[in-house]
Structure 1
């Protein structure tokens, strides 16, 4: 019988050839919505709608293990369970059943800018982000100037983030995460941020991290990015693991499944 862990079990990274192991992972949650009432129902309930509970099986018995040196791409349509899987591996979502084991410290780019205090400056949020990632005050102070310069925001880095565009805020979030020197890096749709110059710079940084981290996970609708940056790939559909293999094999199978022909346009954004 598998042990069920409410949080990923973080092991000594030096003692295992693995970075992550997922065993029979299932995540089910409930959400509520208000059904629009008919005129008769509205009169009976004084205009109030009827709240319904909907059960979502986000992941269904997903199992795989990731060895050190793997750059894993995760693909699938919207609602496939990709972000749910990433959040489970990061310890943000507890499993309903199954087990997640993680060897090493993970840094996540799951939603760029989430958790920032928009009343504070970009530089101050860099400090907050570093502390939240588990760095000491000294470690943060050693890196804050480097990170601030890497954002290429100039004088805006010392302005309140509530004056930033979404792209500027994303730059700060991306820059903080990639400078945490993690054992395991998890990225959810981060490479599309910024202009062409910054995207190229971000891709180069990702390649550097891929070579130095124990493992990297990348979720992207840009299948070209998956093919270019990953050496392994899984495809999820409606919470189930459909296939694992080389990025080229899995992407071809996925595109056949969704009945889309391969082209520069479709592999760039699907």
Structure 2
């Protein structure tokens, strides 16, 4: 057990539930009629089941598992996007989440406009964003497309811009969920280098990737999830090796 003062993320017996509709409803009118008549039927789906772990300040945790194992769901709960059905999550410090590609961007606005919009959503002033504007564009390597609408960007270009904005400052906690998978090899190396620098300066990292090699390079701890249940957690090399032998 870590000393409580060093724990920045405490996930305590967390269960996250979704309701899946048992029937197909084609329009809003039909939905409200069934709602009023109490004829809507749902099936309970537990995306995360009684998961507990603690993340210490400056640690790098990788979350691994097959698609549908609950990795992204638990990151969204830690980011405050959704609430647990059971259990508690305590987070200390500022969070920069990179969870969904293009989140916080308006497709009809240019990259230039979206930089200021996204910065505002992260709590930065216009003056602050102006001071860091060139740094963001330089890292994202998007000078030639700065006045093009985001909707015309490839997924890799959006990922580059999102990562550049989120890591412009060094947050207490950086959450990266598979968004770098769409980038080219050179840019992924660039992002890994920046994350390594942030870790050295004390940032805590939560990292989801299907690349076990990336997880081993960046992370010192790993949580292995399977169908919402924690299978193993501990030292990165040990858990990754066990996962690969499954």
TM-score norm. by structure 1 comes to: 0.80
| TM-aligned CA deviation for residue 70 of structure 1 | 0.6
RMSD: 1.9
Matches within 5 A, 1:1-270: 16-32=5-21, 34=23, 53-257=42-246
SS of structure 2 residue aligned to 1:26: strand
| TM-aligned CA deviation for residue 198 of structure 1 | 1.3
SS of structure 1 residue aligned to 2:180: coil
> Given that residues 236 and 242 in structure 1 are in contact (C-alpha distance below 8 angstroms), is that contact kept between their aligned partners in structure 2?
yes
Larger Rg over CA atoms? 1
Partner of 1:268: none
| TM-aligned CA deviation for residue 33 of structure 1 | 5.4
Q: Deviations over 1:9-42 (max 9, x none)?
A: xxxxxx9311111111111111225469xxxxxx
| TM-aligned CA deviation for residue 123 of structure 1 | 1.5
Distance 1:156 1:136 in 2: 24
Distance 1:218 1:63 in 2: 17
Distance 1:233 1:196 in 2: 23
Identify unmatched segments of 5+ residues in structure 2: 26-38
Distance 1:199 1:68 in 2: 24
Distance 1:255 1:107 in 2: 30
Q: Aligned pair count?
A: 230
| TM-aligned CA deviation for residue 51 of structure 1 | 7.7
Distance 1:114 1:32 in 2: 26
| TM-aligned CA deviation for residue 237 of structure 1 | 0.9
> Given that residues 220 and 236 in structure 2 are in contact (C-alpha distance below 8 angstroms), is that contact kept between their aligned partners in structure 1?
yes
Distance 1:180 1:152 in 2: 18
Identify unmatched segments of 5+ residues in structure 1: 1-14, 37-49, 258-270
Q: Structure 1 191/163 Cα, relative in aligned 2: closer, same or farther at 3 Å?
A: closer
TM-score norm. by structure 2 comes to: 0.88
> Given that residues 104 and 121 in structure 2 are in contact (C-alpha distance below 8 angstroms), is that contact kept between their aligned partners in structure 1?
no
Q: Structure 1 193/35 Cα, relative in aligned 2: closer, same or farther at 3 Å?
A: closer
